[in-house]
Amino acid sequence: MVSSLAALRGPAVTLVDDPFAQASRACLQYHEDALVLIEDGTIRAFGPYAELRDTVPDGITPEHFPGHLLAPGFIDTHVHYPQLQMIGAFGAQLLEWLDTYTFPAEMSFADAAHAERVAKLFLRELLRAGTTTAMVYCTVHPHSVEAFFAESERFNTRMIAGKVLMDRNAPSPLLDTAQRGHDESLALIERWHGRGRQLYCVTPRFAPTSTDAQLEAAAALLKSRDGLFLQTHLCENPGEVEWVRELFPARSSYLDVYAHAGLVRPRSMFGHAVHMHEHDFCTCHQTGAGLAHCPTSNLFLGSGLFKLFEATDPRRPVKVGLGTDVGAGTSLSQLQTLNEAYKVAALAGHKLDAVQGFYLATLGSARALGFDDRLGRLAPGHEADICVLDPHATPLMAFRAGYCASIEELLFMLMTLGDDRAVRATYVAGQRVYDRDRAGDPFHLPDAA
């Protein structure tokens, strides 16, 4: 079999360790002129161009991006693709917002053609934002999962997704039962989990919409195959937390509802987690469960301020990734999401520096998913999912970049002024699937494997 070879050249940045646990500068690797050598979708070599130029095989000309910044593709740990049609909906907090906007939007996914149309837009908007991996909520309809994974397979993206499980406290068209939800999920697991780069995530929406029986069925699903993921919501809104207390009076906390069912474990991702207490942080630390920080959503719905620096306390660190949420979140751009994460931290009396921010969007999210052996870094052996950032994407950014005296300043400018316009190109498994400056359609399906 003939190997597929490619190479990229330009300034490059990647995280090598956790800047919440040690000095930020020690966790950042930056090369003013780097080479990324790619073979069969995997990074074969990464380092200074001057040191690696002789390793480039004959006939391979590196794609050169001077004045840009090669970086790992962004990773989104919490996002609802069916909610694109109601992003930016006005004036409600969580529970009212679900009833008024979310559930009606998700009912439209009974139409398989609608699901396919939204999945196509969603995947392209992720890639436009430089996001190459996401943990994705579909709807209760199995064909919503089929539509998403089919589109992801076309782009060869590394995606994690699942059918929502709800057997109470939602409109009847969106309800399944504990048994039917289990059986439909199991069929999707057998069809998609581990197929190419697709991975399955067992997805009870949140505790109020699942009975004990359904949560137990979700735990049974997790035991059915190796490497499955779990996603749900946790402690997003005070009213929601109180509702959970009323529905599960025997449990000591919202998180304990999931722990009692056997759902708090490695590869479990709990979205929002705004109103957490120390005991719950300790539980996440002990079990290896992750939290998805969704600042644009939490600000937009007025849910509260995520305790990022408490969660990542080096004395008992919890794995934290970054999530856009959408549609309560207001952008699929992780750069814009970091802009809001900085403000959330500042309101809580902390300063989120640029290295910490880019860690959350790349290596930190990969670690929260248990995938840091293959995602989130520019490093040999890692999958070649790469975004090319343009610090000069707008006249203001170009002007401001001229006054950045360090890579840290440049990264901070990108995470406060940047958005999808700052993504020049996105590579998936070493192939350029998005090119902002390509004439006509900026998206390109990769060559068939």
The CATH number of the domain where 132 resides is what? 3.20.20.140
CATH number, domain of 68, equals 2.30.40.10
Question: Does residue 165 share a domain with residue 250?
Answer: yes
Report whether pLDDT(1) > 80.
no
Could you read off the pLDDT of 137-163 as tens digits, one per residue?
999 999 999 999 999 999 999 999 999
Percent pLDDT > 90 in the chain is 98
Taking residues 102-125, report their average pLDDT.
98
The residue whose two tokens read 């705004």 is 274
Domain stop point among 368, 395, 419: 368
Do 61 and 173 lie in one domain? The reply is: no
The residue range of the domain holding 170 is: 74-368
- The tokens describing 423, both together, are 């993504």
Residue 440 lies in a domain: no
pLDDT by residue (tens digit) across 177-186?
Answer: 999 999 999 9
DSSP annotation of 24: G
Same domain, 282 and 199: yes
pLDDT at 60 over 80: yes
Residue 209 sits in the same domain as residue 346: yes
**Is the domain of 363 the same as that of 382?**
no
**Is 332 found in the same domain as 234?**
yes
Q: Where do runs of H (alpha helix) occur along 131-237?
A: 142-155, 178-192, 212-222
Q: How many domains does the chain have?
A: 2
Torsion of CA 284, 290, 291, 293, to 10 degrees: 140
**Has residue 449 been placed in a domain?**
no
pLDDT in tens, 344-358: 999 999 999 999 999
Last residue of a domain, one of 327, 345, 368: 368
Number of H helices, E strands in the chain: 17, 17
For residue 175, how many other CB atoms are within 10 A of its CB? Answer: 16
Residues 410-429 pLDDT 10s: 999 999 999 999 999 999 99
Which one of 349, 368, 387 terminates a domain? 368
Question: Backbone phi, then psi, for 322, in 5-degree steps?
Answer: -110, 140
Average pLDDT, the chain: 97
User: Do 211 and 336 share a structural domain?
Assistant: yes
103 with 233, same domain: the answer is: yes
195 and 295 inside one domain: yes
Examine residue 441 and state whether it is found in any structural domain, yes or no.
no
Contacts by 183-190 with C-beta closer than 8 Å and gap 24+?
Answer: 184/142, 185/221, 186/221, 186/224, 187/142, 188/142, 188/145, 188/146, 188/162, 188/163, 189/221, 189/224, 189/225, 189/228
48 & 146 share domain: no
Judge if 271 and 360 occupy the same domain.
yes
Q: Does residue 381 contact residue 43 with C-beta atoms inside 8 Å?
A: yes
Say yes or no: 357 and 408 in one domain. Answer: no
Is it the case that residue 382 has pLDDT exceeding 90?
yes
Q: What distance in Å separates the CA atoms of residue 145 and residue 210, rounded to the nearest whole number?
A: 19
Residue 423 vs residues 144, 334, 416: alpha-carbon distances, Å: 28, 11, 14
Residue 443 covered by a domain: no
Provide the token pair at 447.
Answer: 């060559």
